[in-house]
Amino acid sequence: MKINRTMREAGKLLAYNFGSIVVFEIIFKIFASAFMVPIMYGVFNISVKCSGIKYLTAGNFTKYMRAPSTYFFIFILLLIVAAYVIINVSGLVYAMDYSRRGKKISPFLLLVAALRNTIRLINPRNFGMILMAMFVIPYSYTILISGSLTGIKFPEFFRKVMLNNKFFIVIIIALYVLCCLISISRLYSINYFTIYHASFTKAARLSRKDNNYNKLKLFIGITIINAVFTLLLLALEALFATTFAGVISKIVDYKTAVFVFNNVLHVVFLIIYMFFSTISTPVIYSFICACFYEIDEITDYTEFEEVRKRRIKKEKHIKDYSKKAMVIVLCLSLVANVAYLILLKTNRVSLDIAYPTHSLVTAHRGDSMHAPENTMAAFQLALDNQADIIETDIRQTKDGEFILMHDKSLLRTTGVNKNVGDVTFDYIKTLDAGSWFSDEYKGEQIPTLEEVLQFAVSNNVKLNLELKPESTDNNYVEGILALLEEYDYLDECIIASADYDSLKKVKEYNPDVFTVRIMSVAFGELGEMEYVDGFSIKHAFISKSMVESIHKNKKVIYAWTINNESDIKDILLLDVDSVITDKPYEAKDIIYNANNGLFMDYLERLIKQY
């Protein structure tokens, strides 16, 4: 097969116009990200609206796919992706054609010629090239595909859809792989389509006939190039990540290290990824073109020569203004990119997919993983660690004071085997509620409801107050509501309880107070509960249909208590309104990075080993 000789010829083709090819790749990617990506976002969002849903979730994906309009928009999206591939590949084919003839070509001329060639996709005779472009992607853009492993966003939404439709997805992937393998015999069709302006039908026929000469060589060569580039990319990123994690963890504390690690690695990985993605496709197509020219030398293309001459003549006229035009295109693309990024950051532009990034984080008894639960230290830490809501529990002492304590007994957190309702507040003040957690918090006291209200008001933080009434209590619900009213906090808090009668009393006192029913397992029509605005349910028992039913009745649903990363990601995809957790900082970080690739997740966890 003499792959080595073909590789050397490919190197020569690439080297002759290497500078122009690299600049073309950079300009094209800037141009594509500025215009094509926002257009794809827009088309997708329109398709969601036309299917009769507001946001696409794992739950309504089937409804989206049943809408006839969806398939029209899928065709439009395929056309855009095909245009991206054909523009990129056409430019590279033109560059290799000039290199073979020993002529230099400017980057702008490559871009204009590629754009003109891509317009031919609109011709119905060339529709087949749209599918051909899709089958070319695995051969030409392996680095782009591997980007989903190295940190390019791959939404958890799609992972959930795949898990819920395993058989269907496996069949689709298998068919796609089969089509890609079959398409190897038609890979030269893009060369005929580009250089000789042949229609897709004729280009595919010629490619299938000619490719019988070196089909195996073509496949093996492309596979080797892609494997080398992908392994180099992964090895370089893994090496940098492990080295950087080891260094940074020895210089700063854990939280700072995580912040620095995440931000620096995202920037560095993006640079590495852009470098490889800029270089890999030209290298692959230089090899494809080298193989094509081996066939080209023994094939008669007399019928296309006149077309080729006219194309080259037109390209000569473009050269006169190519430099100025290139600067204009580059500037416009950069401006469009900046505008797009600003709109993206300000949430003016987004996909209408219910990404797991809108859910609030509720700190369970404060930051109870890193400080003693239900103490001012835990509440302050929850605030510092970006919790959206702080959850706490209210109990009443023998003399009527409202304090923050989860258990009925004081034993677990203070070491005193007495019930809260059997002791006075003066006695409560003598207890140590921090030593059980660690020596660092020795002497931490049990706070009162009034203390935490002062803290919440001064820091503008929302509280989720769980009512825990007991038989020893006196004027329990009314006393709490009166205190909340005194601090003008009734509209700012959430009142939760497992006791439905307590929630009924709250609503009778003030119907505008937001109430949440706490339940371990939920059955039946939850939306019909009159005195409840939402539900707090153990995460293991929350289902897609439950969330849809609750939201349909315009109520909210909270999931408790989740500390595991995979559980948090799974529950977010069900579209819950808040995640209740003992680790608010970690939960916020998981939500923020919920769409990261698998490999990026692995790299970010490396720092935790130090």
Residues designated as active site: 364, 406
Which among 190, 188, 4 is positioned nearest to 88, based on CA atoms? 190
Q: Is residue 57 within 8 Å of 575, Cβ to Cβ?
A: yes
C-alpha–C-alpha distance, residues 576 and 359, integer Å: 7
- What CA–CA distance (Å, rounded) separates 555 from 577? 10
| 324, 330, 332, 334: CA torsion to nearest 10 | -150
DSSP letters for 324-371:
HHHHHHHHHHHHHHHHHHHHHHTTSS--SB--TTS-EEEEETTTTTTS
- The first and second tokens of residue 260, run together, are 């620095």
In angstroms, rounded to a whole number, what is the distance separating the alpha carbons of residues 106 and 340?
28
DSSP state of 148: T
Dist. CA 429–CA 410, nearest whole Å: 12
- What's the rounded Cα separation, in Å, for the pair 66 and 321? 50
Tokens 């919440």 appear where? 456
- Kindly state the tokens that stand for 140: 């030409």
Q: What is the DSSP string of 475-497?
A: SHHHHHHHHHHHTT-TTT-EEEE
Q: Which are the contacts of 275, defined by CB distance < 8 A and separation ≥ 6?
A: none
Q: How many CA atoms lie within 13 A of 358 on its CB side?
A: 13
**Distance separating the N- and C-terminal Cα atoms of the chain:** 50
Q: Give Dmax over CA atoms of the chain in angstroms.
A: 104
Type of residue found at 479: G
Tell me the CA distances in angstroms from 235 to 12, 142, 227, 239, 242, one per residue in order: 28, 15, 12, 6, 11
Cα(235)–Cα(248) distance, integer angstroms: 20
Q: How far apart are CA 93 and CA 283, in angstroms?
A: 11
| Dihedral sign of CA atoms 202, 207, 213, 215 in order | negative
Phi, then psi, of 38 in degrees rounded to 5: -60, -35
d(CA 286, CA 96): 7
Three-class secondary structure of residue 492 per DSSP: coil
Q: How many CB atoms lie within 10 A of CB 36?
A: 16
DSSP-based three-state secondary structure for 574: coil
List the alpha helices (DSSP H) in 51-67: 61-66
In DSSP terms, which residues pair with 403 in a beta bridge? 395, 448
Q: What is the CA radius of gyration of the chain?
A: 31
